[in-house]
Structure 1
Amino acid sequence: MKAIIMAGGKGTRLKPLTCSIPKPMVPILNKPTMEYTIQLLRQYEINDIAVTIAHLPTVITDYFGTGEKWGVQLEYFTEDVPLGTGGSVKNAEGFIDDTFIVLSGDSLTDINIKKALAFHEQKKSKATLILKNEPVPIEYGVVITDHDGKITRFLEKPSWGEVFSNTINTGMYILEPEVLQYYQKGDNFDFSKDLFPKLLADGIPMYGYVTEEYWSDVGALHSYMQTHFDILEGKVNIEIEGHQIEKGIWVGEGVQLNHQVVLNPPVYIGKNCIVGEGSKLDAYTVLGDYSTISKEVSLKRSITWSHVSIGKNSHCSGAVICNNVEIKNHAEIYENAVIGEGSSLEARVMIKPDIKLWPHKKIDENTIVHQNLVWGTKASKTIFGYKDVSGQINIEISPEFASRLGTAFASSLKEEGTIIVSSDFFHASHLIKNALIAGISSTGISVMDIGNMVMPANRFAVKYFKGNGGIHVRMDYTDHNLVHIEFIDKNGANIQRSREREIENLFNREDFKRCNADQIKSVIRIENFKDLYISEGMKLLKNIAAIKRKPPTLLISCKSEAVQGLTSEFLRHIGCQVQEDYRIKEFIEAKDYLAAMKQQVIARNIDLAAMITEDGEKLILIDKKGRIIQQERYDALIAMMLLREGSAEKLVLSYTSPYMIEKMAKDHHVEVVRVKSHPASIMNAMLNIQQDKGLSQYLLSYNATWAIGMIVDFLVTKDIKLENLVEEMPDLYYIKERIPCDWQDKGRVIRQLVEDNEDQNIELFEGVKINDERGWALILPDSEKPLFNIYTEGFSEEYAQELSLFFREKVKELLKNQGQ
């Protein structure tokens, strides 16, 4: 007699256990499920076995090979396209020459094949289905037989109203070769849905053999775990590898059990495991081979695969931990959680019940994981990035996540009030905005929706309507699945780091305000807010009439059509002749587009060109002569305008800003306020010294639409051209560089830089700033990415390059010397 093992299943319901292995290779007590099937066949002297494979076939063939290790002969038949259960067996028809048995590679059974075969022969059956009585049969195919065992009816996954029997189809069959003649090789068909109903209709003898032996479909997490528990309870007639040191406790060779280890049977410990002092392995715990359990660890009803490391004082209850997972100290992992292979959990991580981590996830220290992590690589208690919350739509930023985030933001308010919300025009942004609104409303806080607007308009609306804060949602124009959520305070500035941490803590603890039904307020929706925004921006300008008398020609471009359209409309209202350039989307790098834009400026005799960032906040200008004015030179331009106007008493500069701008201010006897480079710090400092009249450093820095109008208005008022202002600017020798690094290297490198330069003139306000006679260098770890930012400014171009080269190489050298 020959056998066919169906081993083509993907195991979708078992993910993430099956992300990198096919379902038959999922381990049970450290052996692939299919290995038990091969051993069962060998026990009944069925040595010629065909294996049908499809999903990740080499994982199976590499492990089992020819079958020699198990004393059988394996032959593989690969499905290039899905063929169904029947079609996969038909694909191996050349292997069949007589009565054969079909088994599943992803179920576990100890069935007495000899008795089943005898029943098949006695009944002269052409197709014998091996059946099992199941208390809850609705997840299976139900088979109805008469008193003689002859099959009379099939019900595929019936409802409770259709359950006329609790006898289910196990997917194991004893068949005669001729039953496969109903189909051609290559046809896609199932046994239960297609072939067996045809046999029944044609009166072909079919019988059901009801087995009393063990059978389990290892197709879902619950049944996968229960199968382990059943084996440990002795419900399955299979041999458990390892030495039983006392009843119900199996230990593999090379295991080290340290002092005061508590083992409450049944427990299984694989080969070469180490269990630390004071740890407790409670009932139904399974350890895979080469696992290391540190001190004072508690495991209960949990299954680990091989090469798992669990740090001291950790607790795991009712979870599955896949291969090569590292869990640091004081972790808490709860019922039905799954940790995918290769994942890393830092200290004090909590994985909530029913959470699934797909393979190779990195979870930061103190993080509480509330939702499944599928495609992203990292979860962190730190939700906020450099200036916003961002992530892949419906993966990292789902409606559920956004609703909780909105609730946390509203819960952080100290008083009742209103939150202003807005988004760009993308459907995905609307989805997230509406989820945020739902979360805010659940706290009893009022919401005002100003519709499809840009970030600076949200800032203005918060101030104009005296809101308690604002949220703006926009999609990224480089990665069309990336969503950004930006939060602002009642002044219109980004919220401070302390507020971000408060929101993160509320989010992670789910410590939310909630209100009764009668306290939930209607959402206030503002129509045509754009018109108000344009008219209020016009009020800031002094000489619109002069602009209209001699309108300058402007070229405007932005990846965001909403930002570009709004800016162009505003500038036309004040009298400018505006040309729009949409070619920016054809360029990957901004520098390449700027080179093309520069050519257009010269060719068309444009007075001023502006490339606006897609959030509508920042500007890069090009003057009539084609000179590009980027961030630091734009900051210097703003400073020149403020100093020339004469109304500024203080000038706010980021710690990373060039000293040249500071020198300009001091020459005009204007105080300079240096602040950290985080946008919230800069914005709040600017707003604290905001003048009631005249130019606004804040608006010139963070509202591109109004800033262009203010620049044009200034140039007209002073009767000066932009190119003349640029020519008056002092020389700037300033270089910015980025050096990639690992996250864990940041602190070590900064410490080493401080130690190596302690005799130098250094500042530790933000990063490490080193001053010498040539200029200065600032080495600043990036807050959002694994890299160092290096800023250098020299008193000459040569000095700037020398400093940049020296500290670039210094950081690279320190990154190599990990032993220090």
Structure 2
Amino acid sequence: MIGIKAIIMAGGKGTRLKPLTCSIPKPMVPILNKPTMEYTVELLKKHRITDIAVTIAHLPTVITDYFATGEKWNVNLKYYEEEVPLGTGGSVKNAEDFIKDTFIVLSGDSLTDINIQKAVAFHKNKGSKATLILKKEAVPIEYGVVITDGDGKITRFLEKPSWGEVFSNTINTGMYILEPEVLDYFKKGENFDFSKDLFPKLLADKEPMYGYVTENYWCDVGALNSYTQTHFDILEDKVNIEMDGYQIEKGIWIGEGTQISSNVELVSPVYIGKNCNIREGSKLDAYTVIGDNCSIEKEVSLKRSIIWNNTLIGQKTHCSGALICNNVEIKREVEIYENAVVGEASRLEERVIIKPDIKLWPNKKIEENTVINQNLVWGTKASKTIFGFKDVSGQINIDISPEFASRLGTAFASTLKEDGVIIVSSDSLNASKLIKNALTAGIESTGTGVIDIDKAVMPVNRFAITHFKGNGGIHVRLDDTDHNQVHIEFADKNGVNIQRSSEREIENLFNREDFKRCNADQIPSSINVENFQEFYINNGMGLLKDISSIKRKSPNILVSSKSQPMQKLTVQFLERIGCEVQQDYRIKEYRQIKDYLPVMVQQVIIGTADLGVVISEDGEKMILIDKKGNTIQQEKYDMLVMMMLLKEGNKEKLILPYTAPYGIEKLINAQNIEIIRVKSNPASIMYAMHSLDGEGKDGLSQYILSYHAIWGMGVIVDFLIRNHLRLEDLVEEMPDIYFIKEKIPCDWQDKGRIIRQLVEEHQDHNIELFEGVKINDERGWALILPDSEKPLFNLYTEGFSEEYAQELSLFYREKVKQLLQNQGQ
């Protein structure tokens, strides 16, 4: 058409189409393996319009790299980029130098086969300044409605009317035929919209403006439902466009290079792109669209699903009404249901289930057997395993959102076998309170009561559970080194961490959403308890045997913690029992505790403090420093506890984690006390210790000393003063142990293989398989234990001498590294 130019508006972000448009602009979303905008370019070329301007804004290079100058389509493309949003009219005004005469405006993100010649002829015959291309729509309320008279002249506009305002069913398609002078109403660079700003002005000025009602196909590919419907319309031959590939029989299109096994069932209409491989036993049911370079494994079932390019679908996988983006890998026996969307470059492991209407944003990795029943927007990984080493943790509003927390609270309450109450608490930060409140909402939706003890620490929550005779407890805190990392810790009715069996039960309910629910009249009111920490301090004082002696001696203690509330509570408790307390805040200047310890050691040695203590963020562990500068932590602290218990002489059994040095056990065996070894996770250790001595009147218990650091500090001070001892006196009595701990990085998938190979190589040796692989020899022992939260192995070695310990550590470190390098085994 001589003299007619076209402008394609291609600046749309496609927000309603996400996650399809996370990495591509809306006009580049593919329909039958071609960008939507390509159909517009082909339509213009069909009507001999070859001079085309393209207005671009969002991810512009994706468009310009693909279409370039337009030479491939025998058209001339010129691009106009918006640096700031200009609106539909402003973006076209930005290309004003391109326009000399009548021009047509089309959208790059809609599909149409309109007869442009007829529309332009209508425009010319009416002498119109602006002709809007209209379409009859049965449900017009989502569009701009245009009212015309009997001659086609526009008399009124209604922007997304209510049903009471629907006086016509002709909608604005966003395609216009315009004369250049209509753009004179606005200046270049102004933000204005055609339908909201320009056309009402033309109407007010009584400029000739007409509506051309087309009977041809038009669809705004702006939402997921219309996007999929467009594919189905093409397959039903409702759109007059040329389709790439060969129609091997009616309704079955196949691209070049595609191979289909002989017993694949194809139910028309079906479209398969280029260079695909469809394996035997698969069924491609009606309205299935497959992109280029896809591999469909054996016995796959696809129905009403759209698969983009370079995607692998594993054996016996089923997709019904799903939309799968580019470069997705789907393993065997995966189920993906209606209206689910899997974003670009995601990976779904075996037997994953994606529930209906779920959207996965790009680059998600879903672990095997996981059920996905909520949208995954942030983060990179989803797993049916929620719990880590001792809690549920992740980035706030990414891994752990309020929606996630609410479901988690519901799942925990649903595991309770009887009606009762759960104790909840958090630190004082707003993010922690947000997650605590979401957990509370989930709990109460099951009819389970909640007692909120407000600002607290985990040991206080543990005590509150037993104090109120609760059925369990949840504490939320943010990591002091990363305020975006949230920790959610769960306890049972005894106040100890829930066992792995309970964690699995919660995870299963969480993934299946198999929750207990109650009626409106059964939803309880939360009970808020203020200043519960006062009860905690008083109960801790009751555990001590001789507070009067502590007050007379008034030992001087230097206290520090990365958690300010924890430090404050420790100081309050120690001052109440009669200690003189100094505080050191310099720990905040150091990212890692180990870097801070030399500073505190020096202060204890040269200062007035009798000893120093660092309390962990969670309030469970402590590091002690004596007046001589000895640092007592981890294994040395365990030995200190054992020595105190032995001196007290009232224990028959004691607990040791499987990873603890035998040097500690040797010390105990000399006193004829039974040692019970348990797995090294906190829940197992805590449960075993609590079962032996609980939280009774005797504060000198292994459980309290190991998991109630504030109370435990009081117990240690009480013990030292009653026995006229200094901390360094106990340290001097400690036997030497030669114990080394290391971490060896690995890939997650290597863990099982390495353990298997270690067992096979050492099956004729003295090995133990209680937890990890423990190998004994004449020099000592080595334990190789896969980490439960991180991609690494923990290596523990103990030797009968320092030299032997180092030899064992070096040997097994290199052994594991060598096995890691041998990928093929």
1:211 to 194, 211, 214: 214
Shift of 1:371: 0.5
Shift of 1:147: 2.3
Moved more, 434-443 or 276-285: 434-443
Q: Aligned AA for 2:459?
A: P
* C-alpha distance after superposition, 1:225-272 (max 9, x if no partner): 001001001111101111111111111122222233221111111112
Shift of 1:570: 0.9
Shift of 1:136: 1.6
For the residues of structure 2 that align with 1:161 and 1:557, how far apart are their CA atoms? 69
Q: Are 1:400 and 2:403 counterparts?
A: yes
For the residues of structure 1 that align with 2:42 and 2:50, how far apart are their CA atoms? 10
> Taking structure 2 as the reference length, what is the TM-score of the superposition?
0.96
Q: Are 1:653 and 2:656 counterparts?
A: yes
* C-alpha distance after superposition, 1:648-707 (max 9, x if no partner): 222211111122211211222222111111111101111121175251111111111111
| 1:537-552 mapped onto 2 (5 Å cutoff) | 537-552=540-555
SS of 1:289 mapped into structure 2: coil
2:110 to 82, 107, 124: 107
Q: What's 2:620 paired with? A: 617
| 1:479-558 mapped onto 2 (5 Å cutoff) | 479-558=482-561
* C-alpha distance after superposition, 1:269-300 (max 9, x if no partner): 11122222222211111111121222222111
Aligned-pair identity in percent equals 75
Matched length? 820
SS of 1:689 mapped into structure 2: helix
Q: What's 1:714 paired with? A: 719
Q: Are 1:391 and 2:388 counterparts?
A: no
| 1:291-330 mapped onto 2 (5 Å cutoff) | 291-330=294-333
Q: Are 1:181 and 2:184 counterparts?
A: yes
1:371 to 358, 371, 374: 374
Q: What's 1:247 paired with? A: 250
Q: What's 2:168 paired with? A: 165
Q: What's 1:221 paired with? A: 224
- When residues 753 and 232 of structure 1 are mapped into structure 2, their CA distance, relative to the original with a 3 A threshold, is same
| 1:30-429 mapped onto 2 (5 Å cutoff) | 30-429=33-432
SS of 1:656 mapped into structure 2: coil
| 1:645-684 mapped onto 2 (5 Å cutoff) | 645-684=648-687
Q: What's 1:818 paired with? A: 823
Is the Cα contact below 8 Å between 1:277 and 1:294 reproduced in 2? Answer: yes
For the residues of structure 1 that align with 2:82 and 2:798, how far apart are their CA atoms? 64
For the residues of structure 2 that align with 1:190 and 1:306, how far apart are their CA atoms? 36
Shift of 1:784: 1.4
Q: Aligned AA for 1:110?
A: D
- When residues 335 and 638 of structure 1 are mapped into structure 2, their CA distance, relative to the original with a 3 A threshold, is same
Shift of 1:709: 1.0
SS of 1:769 mapped into structure 2: strand
Moved more, 219-228 or 737-746: 737-746
For the residues of structure 1 that align with 2:390 and 2:454, how far apart are their CA atoms? 22
- When residues 583 and 8 of structure 1 are mapped into structure 2, their CA distance, relative to the original with a 3 A threshold, is farther
Shift of 1:583: 3.3
For the residues of structure 2 that align with 1:150 and 1:28, how far apart are their CA atoms? 35
Q: Are 1:738 and 2:775 counterparts?
A: no
Q: Are 1:701 and 2:706 counterparts?
A: yes
1:753 to 751, 755, 758: 758
Q: Are 1:764 and 2:759 counterparts?
A: no
SS of 2:495 mapped into structure 1: coil
Q: Aligned AA for 1:271?
A: K
Shift of 1:445: 2.9
Is the Cα contact below 8 Å between 2:248 and 2:254 reproduced in 1? Answer: yes
Is the Cα contact below 8 Å between 1:557 and 1:612 reproduced in 2? Answer: yes
Q: What's 1:434 paired with? A: 437
Moved more, 670-679 or 431-440: 431-440
For the residues of structure 2 that align with 1:268 and 1:699, how far apart are their CA atoms? 67
| 1:3-42 mapped onto 2 (5 Å cutoff) | 3-42=6-45
For the residues of structure 1 that align with 2:818 and 2:719, how far apart are their CA atoms? 48
- When residues 102 and 637 of structure 1 are mapped into structure 2, their CA distance, relative to the original with a 3 A threshold, is same
1:780 to 777, 785, 799: 785
Shift of 1:337: 0.4
RMSD after superposition: 1.8
Is the Cα contact below 8 Å between 1:419 and 1:447 reproduced in 2? Answer: yes
SS of 2:240 mapped into structure 1: coil
SS of 1:743 mapped into structure 2: coil
Is the Cα contact below 8 Å between 1:450 and 1:526 reproduced in 2? Answer: yes
For the residues of structure 2 that align with 1:18 and 1:554, how far apart are their CA atoms? 60
Shift of 1:91: 2.0
1:594 to 597, 607, 611: 597
Moved more, 27-36 or 127-136: 127-136
For the residues of structure 2 that align with 1:593 and 1:145, how far apart are their CA atoms? 79
Shift of 1:819: 0.2
* C-alpha distance after superposition, 1:470-507 (max 9, x if no partner): 22122222332332221111222111111111222222
Shift of 1:780: 0.8
SS of 2:403 mapped into structure 1: helix
Is the Cα contact below 8 Å between 1:373 and 1:396 reproduced in 2? Answer: no
Is the Cα contact below 8 Å between 2:699 and 2:715 reproduced in 1? Answer: no
Is the Cα contact below 8 Å between 2:393 and 2:486 reproduced in 1? Answer: yes
Shift of 1:518: 4.1
SS of 2:693 mapped into structure 1: coil
Shift of 1:603: 4.5
For the residues of structure 2 that align with 1:583 and 1:147, how far apart are their CA atoms? 83
- Give unpaired runs (5+ residues) of structure 2: none
Q: Aligned AA for 2:709?
A: A
* C-alpha distance after superposition, 1:616-657 (max 9, x if no partner): 111122222333222222222212222222222222111111
Is the Cα contact below 8 Å between 1:647 and 1:694 reproduced in 2? Answer: no
- When residues 171 and 583 of structure 1 are mapped into structure 2, their CA distance, relative to the original with a 3 A threshold, is farther
SS of 1:52 mapped into structure 2: strand
For the residues of structure 2 that align with 1:391 and 1:144, how far apart are their CA atoms? 54
For the residues of structure 2 that align with 1:93 and 1:805, how far apart are their CA atoms? 74
Is the Cα contact below 8 Å between 1:462 and 1:492 reproduced in 2? Answer: yes
For the residues of structure 1 that align with 2:810 and 2:613, how far apart are their CA atoms? 32
* C-alpha distance after superposition, 1:502-553 (max 9, x if no partner): 2222222222233344443333333331111110000011121111112122
- When residues 168 and 593 of structure 1 are mapped into structure 2, their CA distance, relative to the original with a 3 A threshold, is farther
- When residues 723 and 201 of structure 1 are mapped into structure 2, their CA distance, relative to the original with a 3 A threshold, is farther
For the residues of structure 1 that align with 2:598 and 2:188, how far apart are their CA atoms? 62
SS of 1:225 mapped into structure 2: helix
- When residues 586 and 90 of structure 1 are mapped into structure 2, their CA distance, relative to the original with a 3 A threshold, is farther
